[in-house]
């Protein structure tokens, strides 16, 4: 066994845990969950049944990831962030009977490679968080998030762009739609969206540097 599970954590025997991963105190990893290589499951965090987590994912303390969520490589989930799985939650059915597992259909949150969810943020399923996007602390995400988007507010809206370094991008003077990372000098180009939501999208330009 090349991973560490603290004595007070609960990891179901059917869960798969990757090498170098650590599961901290009071965390719970449910049945058939798959946690990748080099991950951190923080104190009191919850990983639902069948959840899929890539490599080098960090779940901070008391983060709640409900099934059937999927987290890509390098995802960061901040303290007490919540990924929901029931778009129409009810404890009982219309006749007042307690709802059981077969009485509702779970829907998941997908978080793509490198994206980060700030502390106490909430992703209301079904929703997809794009690659390297950044959701601010306390934000409530109710619709799909583009790659590299900086999201904030309730409900969350895009207030800017971020690069792979997580730093807010700055539009280059005299080059409308060209954005630069102040830390790495990497460049990105904004394009009009073809989606029904009409949200723009950002594309990396690895061949261009300032």
**DSSP-assigned states of every residue in 132-161:** T-EEPTT-EE-S-B-TTEEEETTTTEEEEE
Query: For the ranges 59-63, 110-114, 173-177, which has the lowest average pLDDT?
Result: 173-177
Expressed as residue numbers, the domain containing 82 is: 63-161
**Count of domains in the chain?**
1
Any domain includes 68: yes
Say yes or no to pLDDT of 208 above 70: no
Residue 73 belongs to domain with CATH number: 2.160.10.10
Quick one: pLDDT at residue 199? 79
Q: Is 101 helix (H, G, I), strand (E, B) or coil?
A: helix
Rounded Cα gap, residues 76 and 55, in angstroms: 11
Q: In this structure, what token pair is assigned to residue 192?
A: 């009009």
Any domain includes 117: yes
Average pLDDT value for residue range 14-27 = 98
Q: How many CB atoms lie within 10 A of CB 136?
A: 18
pLDDT bin (cut points 50, 70, 90) of residue 144 is very high
Rounded Cα gap, residues 29 and 106, in angstroms: 18
Any domain includes 167: no
pLDDT bin (cut points 50, 70, 90) of residue 104 is confident
Any domain includes 152: yes
- pLDDT tens digits for range 75-92: 999 999 999 999 889 999
- CA trace torsion 134, 135, 137, 141 (10° rounding): 180
Any domain includes 133: yes
Any domain includes 131: yes
**Which pTM value belongs to this model?**
0.93
Any domain includes 186: no
């Amino acid at each position: 066994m090349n991973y560490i599970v603290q004595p007070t954590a609960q990891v179901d025997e059917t869960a798969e845990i990757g090498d170098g991963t650590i599961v901290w105190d009071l965390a719970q990893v449910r049945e058939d969950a798959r946690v990748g290589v080099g991950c951190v499951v923080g104190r009191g965090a919850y990983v639902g049944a069948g959840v899929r987590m890539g490599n080098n994912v960090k779940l901070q303390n008391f983060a709640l990831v409900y099934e059937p969520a999927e987290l890509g490589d390098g995802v960061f989930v901040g303290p007490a962030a919540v990924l929901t799985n029931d778009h129409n939650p009810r404890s009982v059915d219309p006749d007042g009977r307690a709802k059981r597992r077969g009485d509702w259909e779970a829907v998941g949150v997908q978080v793509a490679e490198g994206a980060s969810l700030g502390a106490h943020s909430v992703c209301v399923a079904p929703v997809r968080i794009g690659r390297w996007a950044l959701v601010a602390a306390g934000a409530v995400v109710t619709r799909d998030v583009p790659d590299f988007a900086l999201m904030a507010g309730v409900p969350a809206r895009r207030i800017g762009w971020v690069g792979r370094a997580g730093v807010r991008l700055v539009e280059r003077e005299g080059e409308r739609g060209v954005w630069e990372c102040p830390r790495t000098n990497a460049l990105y180009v904004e394009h009009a969206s073809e989606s029904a939501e009409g949200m723009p999208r950002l594309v990396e330009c690895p061949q261009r540097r300032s």
